[in-house]
Structure 1
């Protein structure tokens, strides 16, 4: 593990430990959800990124772990062999058991067929859950309470945060240690060439089932932590949107790096909390970001950062300052122009504006102004549409300049590399 990564992990650990003193209770709740989403994405990445098995129904194991935990909390009351801090173990057991059964069926096939089987299993659970009221509580769900244990009452958000942080750190650490084991190495073999593993004598189906079950177990822990945070579970946890979210979060973060999905899940969860309060179009932005990442940075955001670091080592920090500054400025201008245009159109086509426009039109008045960024913008004014057009044009020009700067660096490097390669040959000829 390189020194820079260790420094980054130490800074992240220090920041996570001090968050309760830096954030309000509402933002601390958001931090808890970010940690849970990070663990869920890391567990999912064991199956998808490391094992090469794309699952479209991983919310099923998250939900089974959640309901296993909520029933354990109600049955045991947070005492005995399973006090409140250890309740996620119930989610782990339920996730492992259900994942082993579902994985045995799903791993009979690979590729698209595997993905469709996982989707079918998740849809089956999602469809049955509302009708099994004794188990899933119907539309009301199942409620519970965190009981005191180990001298803590778990009545404050801070205590729940530290409990969640401890479980997430332990689980992510165990998942990382798994990747260093022989079975963890074979998991990468499943992704790269399962036929070769089978030729070498390994039972690929049993290995795939084991990886599936381990991934489901840690997903169940994430579901158990969700129950500890909310003190309830509803069949909504089986919703296909949960399965889609973990796929998007993982790929946005980058499935090729171990912590990539965790970073993507944390960022997108925070984005959802922040953007949903500001705009009704936040899901559009989320989907657009996913498309852009897949088109221009298929290795995810962490892969993009790793690529920038590689360019820095290749060309030098000083020569990379200009292209990096151009790229950041272009991204800011393009994002600003796109957001301005989307928000303007969203308000223009909203039912409230349509009713206001009809009222104005009946009185013979002009189109009413659209309130955006603290001022009114007249839809019929050229300036209103010139602002996003100018931002997008300026961003596009800067992006073009950034590309030219990178091409110039590559051209400068080519003669240097040729000279370096030719020097030994020249010396050899002289001798």
Structure 2
């Protein structure tokens, strides 16, 4: 993809995001705000993990510190003066930068697994101390604040908060991208590829790693500040390990090798959580399964899959590549339908409510399970045949996709598109 086409896609995406308030309800617009914040947090994390190759398991600490710094700033200055409401995330950025610089100085003394464990220990330390430092973190109740009018806006509507969040997210992503184009950003890749060679060439590797850590924490603090501006409150649960795990999951599902990959993964998974959490109790299981599948079969993430499809299109043309695309999409849809059917059926059969019904009358036949608007009997072979047939159809379609790609390549394996072939199949 050329620079001009990439810029065109980015501008089109920004235009679409700017139009969302006219297309979505207020409830969905709130979800879009959370998607933007998650995208910024994942991109900030990817600066440390994807660009510098330092896997952190405690990045929620800097998100939370930025959030609480923003709460205190909003309560202290009232959204007026030199720090009006639209500039409040700067307080989160400053707090994230300072705390990230201190924590990063200690954490980057080691590398690899030891670095990851130090970041986890720092985050757990903050998480355990937060409920007891009531003057700073508000105890278990947390702290609350209010958005105040500034620059002619009252920030009382979800639409205004959305545009404020969008502006900060786009600005932060632009700054992160510009950083990757600087000489220091190029050296950041050297930290990931061969830090020993950088040290041999005379660079201060520990100082560079600390700086990258602090910058990543700074943008994480911006994301935490936007969270407070949106919710007007902060609680110590912002330091929970689940938030750090979400950053890792979003980054790797989207693809850490592509700049906007983590943002894509965070947006999709956040939307997935909002859309599916009200429909099923097993939505976290689906997230875990998706993460495992991506790590096993698509290590480059969803952005890598999109890139592979683009390479196939560019090499063979749309008419010749279309059968492979259709078969791949059909295999994915059939596999998803079969897996969802099987998981939801088993979840209901093993639920506490269903087992209580069985205990009421052990001699009676098993009651039917309501699923997708229809009653399914566990003793009926058709109930189990449906998901198995869907999974079998998915396997058959995947095999057909692989054969189609082989025919496109002339009947044998093709080295230039092997990654695309594996990812689509």
Structure 2 residue matching 1:366: 3-state secondary structure: coil
Measured against aligned partners, the alpha-carbon deviations of 1:363-402 in whole angstroms (never above 9, x if no partner) come to: x432110000001001110111111011111111111111
CA deviation after TM superposition for structure 1 residue 298, in Å = 0.1
Measured against aligned partners, the alpha-carbon deviations of 1:6-31 in whole angstroms (never above 9, x if no partner) come to: 33222211111111111111100000
Query: Match of 1:343?
Result: 344
The alignment of Structure 1 onto Structure 2 pairs a total of residues equal to 414
Query: Match of 1:253?
Result: 254
Task: Give the whole-Å Cα distance in 1 for the aligned partners of 2:328 and 2:179.
Answer: 38
CA deviation after TM superposition for structure 1 residue 413, in Å = 7.8
Task: Give the whole-Å Cα distance in 1 for the aligned partners of 2:80 and 2:259.
Answer: 36
Query: Match of 1:118?
Result: 119
Task: Give the whole-Å Cα distance in 2 for the aligned partners of 1:322 and 1:359.
Answer: 53
CA deviation after TM superposition for structure 1 residue 412, in Å = 4.9
Task: Give the whole-Å Cα distance in 2 for the aligned partners of 1:260 and 1:356.
Answer: 46
Task: Give the whole-Å Cα distance in 2 for the aligned partners of 1:358 and 1:334.
Answer: 34
Task: Give the whole-Å Cα distance in 2 for the aligned partners of 1:156 and 1:395.
Answer: 46
Query: Match of 2:142?
Result: 141
- 1:284 matched to 2:282: no
Query: Match of 1:37?
Result: 38
What residue ranges of structure 2 are gaps of 5+ in the alignment? Answer: 417-425
Is the alpha carbon distance of 1:414 and 1:35 closer, same or farther for their aligned partners in structure 2, counting shifts above 3 Å?
closer
Task: Give the whole-Å Cα distance in 2 for the aligned partners of 1:6 and 1:132.
Answer: 46
CA contact (8 A) 2:253 2:265 kept: yes
- 1:274 matched to 2:275: yes
CA deviation after TM superposition for structure 1 residue 334, in Å = 0.6
Structure 1 residue matching 2:335: 3-state secondary structure: helix
- What does 1:226-241 correspond to in 2, within 5 Å? 226-241=227-242
Structure 2 residue matching 1:411: 3-state secondary structure: coil
Name the stretch that deviates more: 401-410 or 381-390: 401-410
What RMSD over aligned residues (CA atoms) do the two structures have, in Å? 1.4
Task: Give the whole-Å Cα distance in 1 for the aligned partners of 2:125 and 2:170.
Answer: 32
Measured against aligned partners, the alpha-carbon deviations of 1:111-162 in whole angstroms (never above 9, x if no partner) come to: 1111111111101101111111111011100000001111111110000000
Task: Give the whole-Å Cα distance in 1 for the aligned partners of 2:81 and 2:261.
Answer: 38
CA contact (8 A) 1:74 1:144 kept: yes
CA contact (8 A) 1:92 1:217 kept: yes
CA contact (8 A) 1:360 1:368 kept: no
Task: Give the whole-Å Cα distance in 2 for the aligned partners of 1:152 and 1:413.
Answer: 63
CA deviation after TM superposition for structure 1 residue 77, in Å = 0.5
Task: Give the whole-Å Cα distance in 2 for the aligned partners of 1:244 and 1:8.
Answer: 30
What residue ranges of structure 1 are gaps of 5+ in the alignment? Answer: 418-431
Measured against aligned partners, the alpha-carbon deviations of 1:246-267 in whole angstroms (never above 9, x if no partner) come to: 0000000000000000000000
Task: Give the whole-Å Cα distance in 2 for the aligned partners of 1:117 and 1:319.
Answer: 51
- What does 1:77-96 correspond to in 2, within 5 Å? 77-96=78-97
CA deviation after TM superposition for structure 1 residue 2, in Å = 3.1
Query: Match of 1:196?
Result: 197
Query: Match of 2:382?
Result: 383
CA contact (8 A) 1:297 1:304 kept: yes
Query: Match of 2:364?
Result: 365
Task: Give the whole-Å Cα distance in 2 for the aligned partners of 1:190 and 1:353.
Answer: 54
Query: Match of 2:420?
Result: none
Task: Give the whole-Å Cα distance in 2 for the aligned partners of 1:401 and 1:21.
Answer: 42
Query: Match of 2:71?
Result: 70
Measured against aligned partners, the alpha-carbon deviations of 1:258-299 in whole angstroms (never above 9, x if no partner) come to: 000000000000001111011000000000000000111100
Query: Match of 2:6?
Result: 5
Task: Give the whole-Å Cα distance in 1 for the aligned partners of 2:47 and 2:249.
Answer: 15
CA contact (8 A) 1:360 1:367 kept: no
Query: Match of 1:421?
Result: none
Task: Give the whole-Å Cα distance in 2 for the aligned partners of 1:255 and 1:237.
Answer: 24
CA contact (8 A) 1:88 1:221 kept: yes
Task: Give the whole-Å Cα distance in 2 for the aligned partners of 1:166 and 1:254.
Answer: 24
CA contact (8 A) 1:62 1:222 kept: yes
Measured against aligned partners, the alpha-carbon deviations of 1:227-251 in whole angstroms (never above 9, x if no partner) come to: 0000000000000000000000000
Query: Match of 2:323?
Result: 322
Task: Give the whole-Å Cα distance in 2 for the aligned partners of 1:385 and 1:360.
Answer: 24
CA contact (8 A) 2:406 2:413 kept: no
Query: Match of 1:429?
Result: none
Task: Give the whole-Å Cα distance in 2 for the aligned partners of 1:11 and 1:150.
Answer: 28
TM-score by length of 1: 0.94
Measured against aligned partners, the alpha-carbon deviations of 1:174-194 in whole angstroms (never above 9, x if no partner) come to: 111111111111101111111
Task: Give the whole-Å Cα distance in 1 for the aligned partners of 2:281 and 2:322.
Answer: 36
